[in-house]
A = this chain, B = another copy of it.
Amino acid sequence: MLDEADDSAGISRVAGGIAVATYLEQLETPVPVVDLDRLAHNLDRMAAYVTLHGLKLRPHVKTHKSPRIAAEQLRLGAVGLSCATLREAEVMSEVCDDILLAYPPVGAARLERLARLPQDVRVSVAADDIQSLDALSVAARLGQRTFDVRVEVDLGMHRVGVTTPEKAVAIARHIDRTVGLDFAGLQFYPGHIRANVGEQDDLVRKVGTDLGAFIEALTDAGFPPRVVSGGSTPAAWRMHEIPGVTEVRPGTYVYNDRTTASIGACDWDDCALTVLATVISVSVKGQAVIDAGTKTLGREPLRAEGDGFAMVQDHPDVFVTRLSEEHGILDLSRSSWRPRLGDQVRLVPNHVCIVVHHFDEIIGVRGHAVETRWPVAARGRASNQDFDNAPSKPRMV
Contact = CB atoms under 8 A, between A and B. Distances in A.
Contacts of A300: 294, 299
A65 to B, nearest CB: 10
Contact of A381 (B2, B28, B371): B28
A385 B16 CA distance: 12
B29 A109 contact: yes
B387 A375 contact: yes
A120 interface: no
A204 to B, nearest CB: 21
A84 interface: yes
Given A28-B110, A397-B40, A159 B324 contact: yes
Contacts of A279: 106
Query: Copies of this chain, how many?
Result: 2
Contact of A16 (B31, B85, B391): B391
A8 interface: no
Interface string A258-291: 0000000000000000000011111110000101
Given A109-B29, A294-B354, A289 B342 contact: no
Interface stretch (A126-134, A210-218, A221-229, A239-247): A126-134
A10 interface: no
A234 to B, nearest CB: 14
Interface in A19-71: 20, 26-31, 36, 39-40, 43, 62, 68-69
Nearest to A132: B341
Interface stretch (A173-181, A193-201, A310-318, A356-364): A356-364
A260 to B, nearest CB: 15
A390 B361 contact: yes
Contact residues of A: prevailing secondary structure: loop
A341 B69 contact: no
Contacts of A103: 280, 291, 326
Contact of A390 (B18, B29, B116, B284): B18
A390 B364 contact: no
A278 to B, nearest CB: 5
Contacts of A392: 16
A43 B396 CA distance: 12
Contacts of A353: 325
A36 B375 CA distance: 33
Given A39-B397, A109-B27, A280-B160, A85 B390 contact: no
A334 B351 CA distance: 31
Interface in A372-397: 372-375, 380-383, 385-387, 389-397
A113 B396 contact: no
A214 to B, nearest CB: 14
19 contacts: A1-B109, A1-B383, A28-B381, A30-B381, A39-B397, A62-B326, A104-B291, A106-B281, A106-B291, A106-B342, A107-B291, A158-B284, A159-B324, A160-B281, A161-B283, A325-B357, A360-B381, A373-B391, A374-B393
